[in-house]
Chains A and B, each alone.
Chain A
Amino acid sequence: MKPLLSARGLTKRFGARVACRDAAFDLWPGEVLGIVGESGSGKTTLLNCLAGRLTPEAGSVTYDSAAYGAVDVHDLSEARRRLLSRTEWGFVNQDAREGLRMGVSAGANIGERLMAVGARHYGDIRRTASDWLSRVEIERDRLDDRPTTYSGGMRQRLQIARNLVSEPRLVFMDEPTGGLDVSVQARILDLLRSLVGSLHLSAVLVTHDLGVARLLTHRLMVMQGGAVVEDGLTDQVLDDPQHAYTQMLVASILPV
């Protein structure tokens, strides 16, 4: 088996500040990798480098594409990278407004990826959109409503549907439950967990919330000051943290 995504020596600077230093890992098919750390630890920078949204100063990201075979994400032409990112990949933003078109209906939001790759049957697109709406537990009769009329949790579920409709193999998630009420968070976590399992998705998830990491991820990378200080199986890292920083995180956030 080949890893789906491999990072080697990824380094990204902003001016003199090193936001991410020498990050390396392999992500295997069906695996969910968590990146945890405090804000400013470099986890979102790393995620954006992985997804091709930021160009690193050094290092490489290799993705095993279904369409093109193994490709270096940062060597790809912009055209091909954008195509990958709306077919084989998904990206769930913390703020759903950034990942949705707020001015058009939920159906159009879900249908966009299908239309972008050539779907031209209105009825079929609508049916698929409606199915996805119900899969993310939104009433089908909200299909023609705009996301502006949705609650925060519904918007996040709509964003997930908009990403998953193209049946991506790899999804990047940046604090997908951040800024939501605890009860709403729980529902989205349940939904994500079942979708990841049933669709056999691989995912890279950035979160500062170790509870979210425990629930969703198989493996964890702990980042501090731009560097990965510890990594391993999620349960292992959380139950028996080795690095002092991880111990501090676990102690402060998980009063078990």
Chain B
Amino acid sequence: MYVAVKGGETAIAHSLDLLADKRRGDRAIAELSLEQIDQQLGLAVDRVMTEGSCYDRSLAALAIKQARGDLIEAIFLLRAYRTTLPRFGDSLPLDTSAMVAERRISSTFKDVPGGQVLGPTYDYTHRLLDFSLAAAGDRPAAPTAPADTNRSLPRVGDILEREGMLEPPPRDGASEDLTRRPLTLPASRPVRLQNLARGDEGFLLALGYSTQRGYGNNHPFVGEIRYGHVPVGFVPEELGFAIEIAEIDVTECDMVNQFAGSHDVPPQFTRGYGLAFGHSERKAMSMALVDRALRAEELSESATSPAQDEEFVLAHSDNVEASGFVQHLKLPHYVDFQSELVVVRALRAEVEARRRQAVLDQAAE
């Protein structure tokens, strides 16, 4: 006698226990602290904060620990927490020209006001495994110049804009919040930028890359990349004036792109913009490339490539959505599959019957 499988509840409880056990690993090895993750896996924390749309290093570190280093799972954890938080209002736009930069480069000019600041970067490391890191041991502190908080760091884009060489930043549409309202298409640029900022780094990297290989080429130059600390301003209703509520680290990328001009508009460079929490240059650059590609229609370019297709890009950029829907295929689909089985069996039976009939007809002749 067949007995249907039961006991989902117990199975889930055991699965959770096993998972917790796996997460901790060998108890003889010291447990990771959130401070260690924050300090020593800082770029992972940056990515989780960026795509989790929540600037909180210790929460992101906790998510990474709980997710055993699976960053998309960690982003999901942080997002699910973030969504329950109350909203006090919108902060003022960040003024990145007031940034205390740790790194600032332009690849369009040899020198720019404020200077090129290399800062900490993997760019010029030789990718040789450093076996000395395998052993514990302290490193001497790197020599640094005292931070010059008064140094003005005008944005390269602003300088080009004053000359008329670069278009003013496109300002269309009020800012909306994608996490409060559904995405409607066509989307305003602020909504698009929010979507890209939350978007999966790998997805944007691949799309940005595709624009460089001819799928929607827009001849990009890095006008500027800067990384550093910026203050966050907020105007509480009861005060009526701005106060500084935090200082955060961000990476900003201004991409400068060719534009042939048209009958009415003389040739001029156009912008693509990227911004990410923490130090995330790959993300900020990819975002800037895709932002510019998505402006194809606005700039009367023919939109023929995936990176220029707003519906395609915005609908598929979110890794929490994508991961959930791909993995939902693990859920039971007995019923749908049974419907398909019934249909396919019936179709096969009909074909078989026709074949037999044909054989009979042939024999009868």
Query: Interface residues, chain A, CB within 8 Å of chain B?
Result: 15-17
A41 to B262: give the CA distance in the assembly, Å: 20
**Residue in chain A with minimal CB distance to B264:** A16
Q: List 7 A-B contacts (CB under 8 A).
A: A15-B262, A15-B263, A15-B264, A15-B300, A16-B263, A16-B264, A17-B263
**Residue in chain B with minimal CB distance to A17:** B263
Within 8 Å CB of A15, what residues of B? 262-264, 300
Within 8 Å CB of B262, what residues of A? 15
Q: Mark B289-312, 1 if CB is under 8 A from A, else 0.
A: 000000000001000000000000
A131 to B271: give the CA distance in the assembly, Å: 57
A16 to B263: give the CA distance in the assembly, Å: 6
Task: Looking at the assembled complex, report how far the CB atom of B300 sits from the nearest CB atom of chain A, in whole angstroms.
Answer: 8
Q: Mark B190-206, 1 if CB is under 8 A from A, else 0.
A: 00000000000000000
The 4 closest A-B pairs by CB, nearest first: A16-B263, A15-B263, A16-B264, A15-B262
A17 to B263: give the CA distance in the assembly, Å: 8
B243-285 at interface with A (beta carbon < 8 Å): 262-264
> From DSSP, what is the main secondary structure of chain B's interface residues?
loop
Query: Interface residues, chain B, CB within 8 Å of chain A?
Result: 262-264, 300
A17 to B264: give the CA distance in the assembly, Å: 10
A15 to B265: give the CA distance in the assembly, Å: 10
Within 8 Å CB of A17, what residues of B? 263
Within 8 Å CB of A16, what residues of B? 263-264
Within 8 Å CB of B300, what residues of A? 15
A15 to B299: give the CA distance in the assembly, Å: 12
A195 to B264: give the CA distance in the assembly, Å: 46
Task: Looking at the assembled complex, report how far the CB atom of B9 sits from the nearest CB atom of chain A, in whole angstroms.
Answer: 46
Within 8 Å CB of B263, what residues of A? 15-17
A15 to B264: give the CA distance in the assembly, Å: 7
Task: Looking at the assembled complex, report how far the CB atom of A243 sits from the nearest CB atom of chain B, in whole angstroms.
Answer: 27
**Residue in chain A with minimal CB distance to B265:** A15
A108 to B317: give the CA distance in the assembly, Å: 35
A7 to B264: give the CA distance in the assembly, Å: 29
A196 to B262: give the CA distance in the assembly, Å: 43
A15 to B300: give the CA distance in the assembly, Å: 10
A222 to B312: give the CA distance in the assembly, Å: 42
A17 to B300: give the CA distance in the assembly, Å: 14
**Residue in chain B with minimal CB distance to A15:** B263
A112 to B263: give the CA distance in the assembly, Å: 42
Task: Looking at the assembled complex, report how far the CB atom of B341 sits from the nearest CB atom of chain A, in whole angstroms.
Answer: 25
A17 to B262: give the CA distance in the assembly, Å: 11
Task: Looking at the assembled complex, report how far the CB atom of A16 sits from the nearest CB atom of chain B, in whole angstroms.
Answer: 4
A71 to B247: give the CA distance in the assembly, Å: 63
**Residue in chain A with minimal CB distance to B300:** A15
Task: Looking at the assembled complex, report how far the CB atom of B32 sits from the nearest CB atom of chain A, in whole angstroms.
Answer: 53
A207 to B254: give the CA distance in the assembly, Å: 48
A46 to B343: give the CA distance in the assembly, Å: 50
A75 to B214: give the CA distance in the assembly, Å: 41
A10 to B176: give the CA distance in the assembly, Å: 40
A168 to B263: give the CA distance in the assembly, Å: 40
A15 to B262: give the CA distance in the assembly, Å: 8
A186 to B300: give the CA distance in the assembly, Å: 39
**Residue in chain B with minimal CB distance to A16:** B263
A16 to B300: give the CA distance in the assembly, Å: 13
Task: Looking at the assembled complex, report how far the CB atom of A184 sits from the nearest CB atom of chain B, in whole angstroms.
Answer: 29
A135 to B263: give the CA distance in the assembly, Å: 48
Task: Looking at the assembled complex, report how far the CB atom of A141 sits from the nearest CB atom of chain B, in whole angstroms.
Answer: 17
A15 to B261: give the CA distance in the assembly, Å: 12
A92 to B111: give the CA distance in the assembly, Å: 59
Task: Looking at the assembled complex, report how far the CB atom of B106 sits from the nearest CB atom of chain A, in whole angstroms.
Answer: 33
A172 to B300: give the CA distance in the assembly, Å: 27
Task: Looking at the assembled complex, report how far the CB atom of B38 sits from the nearest CB atom of chain A, in whole angstroms.
Answer: 52
Task: Looking at the assembled complex, report how far the CB atom of A92 sits from the nearest CB atom of chain B, in whole angstroms.
Answer: 24
Task: Looking at the assembled complex, report how far the CB atom of B356 sits from the nearest CB atom of chain A, in whole angstroms.
Answer: 23
A246 to B264: give the CA distance in the assembly, Å: 32
Task: Looking at the assembled complex, report how far the CB atom of B336 sits from the nearest CB atom of chain A, in whole angstroms.
Answer: 23
A15 to B263: give the CA distance in the assembly, Å: 7
